[in-house]
């Protein structure tokens, strides 16, 4: 999933430099959504480990 985040961030940066603001916005929003999912999963994993111990 981290690979997809990096790909979307690169696509957003390149699209922004080439003058495609709509594509850059979509790619950045997708990356932001995936970052949120990763953070939630990470926090659930950490809290689960603490709850078990």
Could you state, in order of their start, the residue ranges of all structural domains in the chain? 2-52
Higher pLDDT, 36 or 48: 36
Distance CA 26, CA 29 (A): 5
The mean of the pLDDT values for the chain is: 93
The pLDDT value given to residue 53? 65
The pLDDT value given to residue 49? 78
CA distances from 24 to 3, 8, 28, 33, 42 (A): 18, 9, 6, 14, 27
The pLDDT value given to residue 1? 84
pLDDT digits (tens, 9 = 90+) for 18-35: 999 999 999 999 999 999
Q: Write out 1-53 in H/E/C secondary structure.
A: CHHHHHHHHHHHHHHHHHCCHHHHHHHHHHHHHHHHHHHHHHHHHHHHHHHHC
């Amino acid at each position: 999933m981290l690979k997809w985040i990096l790909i979307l961030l690169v696509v957003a940066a390149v699209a922004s430099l080439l003058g495609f603001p709509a594509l850059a916005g979509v790619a950045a929003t997708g990356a932001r959504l995936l970052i949120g999912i990763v953070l939630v999963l990470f926090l659930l994993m950490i809290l689960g480990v603490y709850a078990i111990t």
